[in-house]
Amino acid sequence: MNFNEKDELQKRFAKRVCRVDIEPPAHVVPHGAGFVRACTSGLAWGMCPQRLVARQLESGELVEVLPGSRFDVDLYWQSWRLALGWLDELSAMLKHRAKSFLD
């Protein structure tokens, strides 16, 4: 299952595991909670942020395909260059909070 048309996390993960390029069929579920719900209902499998699915992993609703393995994804904050002081302050705050939250 993919989050959107550009999502290739599942494909990259499968390539890492199988060591071959594959094009598996995939549903698109462009909603975070809906994506997780589709996984917990058994519709498909997908790459979910660990913090988003911690409860489901703990309860056994979800299981790790390769327990203990990590698949890190770079995150980017993008904004237009506008002459707005509050936007620069917001960007700085978001970067700071994301760094402390994601480390």
Tell me the per-residue pLDDT of 41-55, one tens digit each, with 9 for 90 and over.
999 899 998 889 999
- Highest mean pLDDT of the ranges 12-21, 79-88, 94-103: 12-21
Mean of the per-residue pLDDT values of the chain: 87
Residues in Cβ contact with 64 at an 8 Å cutoff, skipping those fewer than 6 apart = 57
The helix (H) or strand (E) run that includes residue 54 is helix 54-59
Confidence bin at 86 (pLDDT 50/70/90): confident
Provide the token pair at 36: 């997780």
Instruction: Please check whether residue 67 is in contact with residue 73, taking contact to mean a CB–CB distance below 8 angstroms.
Output: no
Instruction: Please check whether residue 71 is in contact with residue 13, taking contact to mean a CB–CB distance below 8 angstroms.
Output: yes
Instruction: Please check whether residue 33 is in contact with residue 49, taking contact to mean a CB–CB distance below 8 angstroms.
Output: no
The pTM of this model reads 0.71
